[in-house]
Structure 1
Amino acid sequence: MNDNHPAGQGPTRPLTVADVLALPVLAAGQPQVVTGVPQLDRPVRWVHITELTDPASFLKGGELVLTTGMPLPEDTVGVRRYVDELADIGAAALVIELVRRYHRPPDALVDACRLRGLPLVTLAKDVNFLEVTQVVHALLLGNQAEAMRRTQHIHEAFTALTLRGAGPEDVVRAAAEMSGRTVVLENLVHQALICEPSGTTVEKALADWEQRSRATGPGDNTATRGPENWLTTPVEYQGERWGRVAMLPSRMEEPAFGPEDITVLERTAMTLTVARLIHPTPWEHTAHRNALRDLVEQRHHSPADARTRCAALGLPAQGGTFVGVLVDLRTGQGEAEPETRLLQELRTAGIPALVGELAPGRLGILLALRAPQLWRPVVERLAGTALGMAPQAVVSVGSEVTDLFDTARSFREAAHITEATPLGQPLPPDRSFHELSDIGLRRLLHALREDTRIQEYTERQLGRLIEHDTQHGTDLLTTLRHYLDAAGNKTTAARRGGLSRETMYQRLRTIERLLARDLESGEQRTELHVALTALDVVRTH
C-alpha cells in the first residue's frame, strides 16, 4: 500500500476485493459491481487470469479471477456450473471484461453469481490483466515489510505529537486518521469528551453513548470488549486513571482489530497521558468549550448531531428548555478558576449544564432545565458567584428556548446584551444579571458605537452645531440638550440652563438655522435626541 493508506486498513490486514477495485490499474477499466456488494470485504489472497472453462481446478480459494469472458459457456447450465465451481473453491470475486465477447454481462451469469453470493464485477474498458497481477501480488508479498514500516511510522507520528505539545483533540484526530476507525476519548463517568468519526457520523458514533459504553465493561489492558467489539485501553498515570480511549469498528461484521490498531490505540493513550500532564486545562473543560462553540457558531451538521454530541457529554438534549448565559469577566484574558467554580456551583445545585470559555475573558453557560425548574433563580445564583469572583463582571442571559439547536439564538441575544452594557453600568434593582428588556436607547447605541453608520448619522445631524460652538465659543449643544431633555418645553429648558426665556428663544432659532431643522416637529426632535445620545456614547467610550 502507499504511504497515505490508513493504518489498520493497510496490507497487515487481508487485501479486500474493494481495495483491489480501488487500485488505479483496475479503476481505469471503470469497474461496476453487478452482484455481491455486501461481499466486497472478502480478502484477496491472489489474482488469477484465466481463459479456461474450468478455472476452479487451478484455484485454492481467495483468488480474484480475471477473464475476458471468451471461455464462458454458451448454455445456462454450463454458466451455472462455472460459477458454482468458483464459489465452491472460495474465489473472492469474478471480474469480466466487456470489450471482446460481451458488451453486457449475460443474464445467466448475473443470476448464477447472485444466487451463490459471488461478487461479479464488469470492466467497461480494456485493462492490462498482467499489470493487475503484478501490482496486487507486490502488495501481498510486501505485506510483512510494510507492516514493520507502518508500525515505525505510527511510533514516529505520536512521538512528533508529543514533542510539539499537541492537545488531546489533535491526538485523537491523528489516531482516527491513522487507523481509519472512529476514536473516542471518554472520562470515568462515560461521557464522550472527544470524538473523531471515520466512515460514519458523530450522530451514529455517539448515539446512546453512556449506555453502550457501560455495556462494554472496564478493563486494565488493551482488548476488544463488549457487545459491539470495541477496542479499548485505559488512560492513566502512576496508578491514577483519567479515562479511556475506545476504537470503534466501522461495521459490526468487520474483522477483528489488527496489530496496527492495537499499536495506534496504545500510543494514543500514552500521548494523551503526556498531553494531560503538559496542558493544565482538564479534558472536560476542553470538551465543554468545543461543544459550546459548535452550538454558538452552529457548526453541527444537523440538529440531531448537536443533540447527540451534547447528550454524550451528559447534557439532557431533549424534553426540556435551554438558556444561554454569558459571563463577561471584563479582564480581557482567560481564567480557569471562574470556569471551574461556576461548573462546580451548577453541579452542586444539580443543574445539567455546559460551561466553557467562548473568548478570552468571556464564559458561556448552557443551562438544561426540566419542569418545574425556573431559570431566573439559577442565573441569579450563577451571577452571585461570578460577581463574588470578579465584581466588574457582566452576566447576561438570552431567551429560553425549547430546542437545543436554537441555543445559538439565546447566546446571540446574551452577546448583544453584553455588548450593550458599558463598564460600570449599574445592575437592575431586583437582580444581578442583565437581560433583553434592560436595553434602552443609550445601551443600544453603546453596542453600535463603532458602526460607521451611527457615527456618520451623528455627524450629519450635529456637526454644524458643534463646529459653530468651537469657532464662536458658544455652547448651543448644551442648550439643545436641555431643550430635548425637557421634551420641547422652552420654559423648563431655560430654567435648567439658567437662561431667560428670550435668550432661550434666540438660541433655539439659531440652532434651527444652523441645523436646518424645525424644533417644533416631534419627529425631528427625536432624530436630534438620538444623535445627541449617540454623540455622548461615542465621546464617553
Structure 2
Amino acid sequence: MNEHHPAPRPGVPDEQDTGAAGRALTVADVLALPVLAAGQPRVVTGGGCLDRPVRWVHITELTDPASFLKGHELVLTTGMPLPDSAADVRRYVDELADVGAAALVIELVRRYHRPPDALVHACEARGLPLITLAEDVNFLEVTQVVHTLILGNQTDAMRRGQRIHEAFTALTLRGAGAQDVVRAASEMSGRTVVLENLAHQALICEPSGATVEEALTDWERRSRATPPGGHPGPPGAERWLVTPVEYQGERWGRVVMLPARTEGPPFGPEDTVLLERTAMALTVARLIHATPWERTAQQGALRDLAGQRHHSPEDARARCAALGLPTDDSRFLAIVVDLRDGDLRDGDFANDGFGNDGSGDGDVRDGSLRDGGAGGAEAEARLSQELRTAGIPTLIGALSPGRLGILLALRPSQPWRPVAERLARTALDLLPRAVVSVGPEVTDLADTARSFREAARVAEATPPGRPLPPDRSFHELSDVGLRHLLYALRSDTRVQEYAERQVGRLIDHDTRHGSDLLTTLRHYLDAAGNKTATARRGGLSRETVYQRLRAIERLLERDLESGEQRTELHVALLALDLLRGRVT
C-alpha cells in the first residue's frame, strides 16, 4: 500500500485561493482545500498521480458511475454501492480508469472503516488514485467549492488568453521583429524562450531567471535530444515546451520554452497557447522582414562582443557556441570593412567605433548597412559565402551604419594573413574605395572587443582611397602614422583650435595682403629647415626666402630654428590640410 496523508499545499490556503493560477486544478489542490482536508484524507494508492487535473467533481452512489463521466472527474462516494465480489470491484475500478477519472474518494464512516483490499488492489493495478476520508464530509459543499474554483479558473484563463491574443496582435500590427516577439513571450511567461533554426542553432535567447550560459550551454546536443513534434509538448529529457515555426508546410525552426530553473509549476495550457501565438507572430515577422534570422542573430552577437555588452564571458561563449562558432581551442581575429565611399562620420572617434555613443541609437535595423546600400549587402553576402567555402567558422554583420564586422575563429595552427588577404581582395573587388582593417589576433573570446576596437581605430584613421601597403590589401595598426592619427581626430575641436592657434594669424595675413607666406612655411617645413631646398621648391631667391621666413617668425612669434617649434607648426599644417579635405 502507498498510504500517506497529503501535506497542505502552500498555494492553497483556503477555498478562495487555489494556487493554480495559470494551470488546471489538480487532485492535490482539491485535497488541500479545508472543506476536504477536514475529512482527514489519506492517499492509499496513486500518490504519484496527484498532479492529475480535475475538470469536475461527481458524487455517485451507483454501481456503474462511469456511464455519467467524461474524464478528469474527482469521484466522491460513501462506499455504500460498492460491490461485494472482487470481480465486480475490479470492473467498477476498470470503468473509472477507462473513462479517465482523476481519482476516487471514499468515505470510511458508514459502510467501511478501512478500504477493502479488493478495492485497493484494483486501484493499484490501474494506477487510479484512491483517497479515503476518516471523517464525515459534506460532499455537496465540496462540489460547490471546487466547481466555483474551476469556473473561476476557466474565466481567468479566458482573460489571460485574451491578453495574450491582444499583446501578440499588437506586436504583429506594428511590424515587430523576431527579437521583440521572443522577448514578449519570455516576459509574459516568466520563462526562458529560445528561437532556433533547423540546424539547432540558438538564434535568439531571452533568459528569465537564468543566465544565457545556463540556457544555451551544450544547446545543439540538448536540442537534438528533444523530438521535433508537430504539436506543442514537453517531450524528451529536457522537458521543453516546443512549437514549430512554419508557413504553408515549410518549417523554418522551432520556438522553445524552457522549464523554470527551480521546482515550480509544470507547463500549463496557457503556456501552450502563448507559445503557439509566439510561433504565429514569428512567422509573420519572418514574412515581413526579409533579413534572415541567422544574419540578424550573428549581427547581434557580433555587436555585443565588440561593445562588451554581455553579462559575462561565460554568457558570450555560450551564445556564440550556440550559433555554431567554436569557442575552445581557437584563435580569433576581428576584421572591419568600412563600406562608405565618402568620409567617415564626424565624431566617430568620440564613440566606441561601433555606432554606440551611449545613446542606444546605434542599432542597425534588420542587419542593413544603410550607408553601404546594395553594395554593402552584396559585400556581406559575398564575404559570408567566401568564408563558408573556405570552411572558416565566423560571425559577420553590420557593426554600425556602413561598417561591416567579421570575427574569424581560426584553428591554432592556421595562419590568419592569407585569410585576411582573401577577404580584403573580395571586398575591394566589390567596393574599390572600401577600407579593410584588421585587429590583433587574440586567443580568448572575451578579448575580441579589443581586437575590434583596434581594427575600428585603424579604419577611422585611414581615409578612403588611401594607397594600400605594398604587400597586402588591408590595413593594420602598424600602418597608422601621424597623418592617419590627425585624420581620425580631425573633427575634434581641440585639434581644430590647435591648428588655428598655430597658423591662424599667418592665414589671416595672407588673406588681407594677398601674400603666400603659408606656402613658403609649408615648403620650409617639408624641407626640414633647409633654406636652399625651400627656395628651389618655391621658385624663389634665397634672399626672398630669408625675408619671408623673418616675416613668418614675427607674425607667429616663433623661432624657426627650433626643431620642436618647427614640429608643432608642421603638425598644425597637416591638421589644416585634413580639415580642408586634403587627405592624401
Pairwise TM-score range, normalised by the shorter structure: 0.7 to 0.9
How has the CA–CA distance of structure 1 residues 209 and 432 changed in structure 2, closer, same or farther, with 3 Å as cutoff? same
Match of 2:272 in 1: 262
Give the residue type in structure 1 aligned to 2:215: A
8 Å CA contact 1:315, 1:353 repeated in 2: yes
Match of 2:546 in 1: 505
Match of 1:155 in 2: 165
Match of 1:391 in 2: 432
Match of 2:285 in 1: 275
How has the CA–CA distance of structure 1 residues 16 and 188 changed in structure 2, closer, same or farther, with 3 Å as cutoff? farther
Q: How many angstroms apart in 1 are the aligned matches of 2:147 and 2:188? A: 24
Q: How many angstroms apart in 1 are the aligned matches of 2:246 and 2:526? A: 68
Partner of residue 529 from structure 1, selected from 570, 574, 581:
570
Superposed displacement of residue 164, structure 1: 1.4
Partner of residue 519 from structure 1, selected from 557, 560, 565:
560
Superposed displacement of residue 365, structure 1: 0.6
Q: How many angstroms apart in 2 are the aligned matches of 1:430 and 1:530? A: 28
Give the residue type in structure 2 aligned to 1:481: R
Structure 1 segment 309-348 matched on structure 2, within 5 A: 309-330=319-340, 332-334=371-373, 335-348=376-389
Give the residue type in structure 2 aligned to 1:303: P
8 Å CA contact 2:12, 2:33 repeated in 1: no
Q: Secondary structure at the match of 1:184?
A: strand
Match of 1:146 in 2: 156
8 Å CA contact 2:210, 2:261 repeated in 1: no
Q: How many angstroms apart in 2 are the aligned matches of 1:233 and 1:310? A: 23
Superposed displacement of residue 424, structure 1: 1.6
Q: Secondary structure at the match of 1:244?
A: strand
Alignment partner of 1:242 is 2:252: yes
Q: How many angstroms apart in 2 are the aligned matches of 1:287 and 1:16? A: 43
Match of 1:191 in 2: 201
Q: Secondary structure at the match of 2:439?
A: strand
8 Å CA contact 2:298, 2:395 repeated in 1: yes
Match of 2:48 in 1: none
8 Å CA contact 1:46, 1:137 repeated in 2: no
- For residues 339-398 of structure 1, the C-alpha deviation after alignment (integer angstroms, 9 at most, x for no partner) is 222112111101111001122221111111112111111111111111122222111111
Alignment partner of 1:539 is 2:549: no
Structure 1 segment 383-422 matched on structure 2, within 5 A: 383-422=424-463
Give the residue type in structure 1 aligned to 2:246: E
Q: Secondary structure at the match of 1:323?
A: strand
Q: How many angstroms apart in 2 are the aligned matches of 1:478 and 1:310? A: 56
Alignment partner of 1:460 is 2:501: yes
Q: Secondary structure at the match of 1:220?
A: coil
- For residues 128-174 of structure 1, the C-alpha deviation after alignment (integer angstroms, 9 at most, x for no partner) is xxxxxxxx999776212101111122122222221211100011111
Match of 1:102 in 2: none
Partner of residue 211 from structure 1, selected from 218, 221, 229:
221
Alignment partner of 1:302 is 2:308: no
Q: How many angstroms apart in 1 are the aligned matches of 2:571 and 2:149? A: 76
Q: Secondary structure at the match of 1:324?
A: strand
8 Å CA contact 1:449, 1:455 repeated in 2: yes
- Structure 2, unaligned stretches of length 5 or more? 1-7, 18-26, 44-145, 342-370
Give the residue type in structure 1 aligned to 2:433: Q
With normalisation by structure 1, the TM-score equals 0.75
How has the CA–CA distance of structure 1 residues 520 and 138 changed in structure 2, closer, same or farther, with 3 Å as cutoff? farther
8 Å CA contact 2:31, 2:37 repeated in 1: no
Match of 1:228 in 2: 238
Q: How many angstroms apart in 2 are the aligned matches of 1:296 and 1:475? A: 48
8 Å CA contact 1:17, 1:43 repeated in 2: no
The alignment of Structure 1 onto Structure 2 pairs a total of residues equal to 434
Give the residue type in structure 1 aligned to 2:166: E
- Which moves more between the two structures, 152-161 or 442-451? 152-161
Match of 1:89 in 2: none
Superposed displacement of residue 319, structure 1: 2.1
Give the residue type in structure 2 aligned to 1:430: D
Match of 2:472 in 1: 431
8 Å CA contact 2:191, 2:260 repeated in 1: yes
Match of 1:356 in 2: 397
How has the CA–CA distance of structure 1 residues 18 and 531 changed in structure 2, closer, same or farther, with 3 Å as cutoff? farther
- For residues 222-269 of structure 1, the C-alpha deviation after alignment (integer angstroms, 9 at most, x for no partner) is 221221111112111122211111111013754432111111111111
8 Å CA contact 2:335, 2:452 repeated in 1: yes
Superposed displacement of residue 178, structure 1: 1.6
Q: How many angstroms apart in 1 are the aligned matches of 2:418 and 2:285? A: 38
Q: How many angstroms apart in 1 are the aligned matches of 2:542 and 2:337? A: 50
How has the CA–CA distance of structure 1 residues 255 and 388 changed in structure 2, closer, same or farther, with 3 Å as cutoff? same
Q: How many angstroms apart in 1 are the aligned matches of 2:173 and 2:335? A: 38
Superposed displacement of residue 425, structure 1: 1.1
How has the CA–CA distance of structure 1 residues 221 and 525 changed in structure 2, closer, same or farther, with 3 Å as cutoff? same
Superposed displacement of residue 60, structure 1: 4.4
Match of 1:73 in 2: none
8 Å CA contact 1:295, 1:407 repeated in 2: yes
Q: How many angstroms apart in 1 are the aligned matches of 2:265 and 2:529? A: 84
How has the CA–CA distance of structure 1 residues 137 and 401 changed in structure 2, closer, same or farther, with 3 Å as cutoff? farther
Match of 2:525 in 1: 484
- For residues 103-145 of structure 1, the C-alpha deviation after alignment (integer angstroms, 9 at most, x for no partner) is xxxxxxxxxxxxxxxxxxxxxxxxxxxxxxxxx9997762121
Q: How many angstroms apart in 1 are the aligned matches of 2:217 and 2:539? A: 73
Superposed displacement of residue 202, structure 1: 0.9
What is the identity percentage for the equivalent residue pairs of Structure 1 and Structure 2? 72
How has the CA–CA distance of structure 1 residues 477 and 242 changed in structure 2, closer, same or farther, with 3 Å as cutoff? same
Q: How many angstroms apart in 2 are the aligned matches of 1:203 and 1:18? A: 31
Match of 2:10 in 1: 17
How has the CA–CA distance of structure 1 residues 140 and 16 changed in structure 2, closer, same or farther, with 3 Å as cutoff? farther
Superposed displacement of residue 186, structure 1: 0.5
Q: Secondary structure at the match of 1:357?
A: strand
- Which moves more between the two structures, 330-339 or 486-495? 330-339
Superposed displacement of residue 336, structure 1: 2.9
Match of 2:138 in 1: none
Q: What root-mean-square deviation, in Å, do the aligned CA atoms of Structure 1 and Structure 2 show?
A: 2.8
Q: How many angstroms apart in 1 are the aligned matches of 2:541 and 2:235? A: 92
Give the residue type in structure 1 aligned to 2:287: L
Q: How many angstroms apart in 1 are the aligned matches of 2:240 and 2:490? A: 55
Give the residue type in structure 2 aligned to 1:485: D
Superposed displacement of residue 217, structure 1: 2.8
Match of 1:367 in 2: 408
8 Å CA contact 1:321, 1:402 repeated in 2: yes
Superposed displacement of residue 280, structure 1: 0.2
Superposed displacement of residue 535, structure 1: 0.5
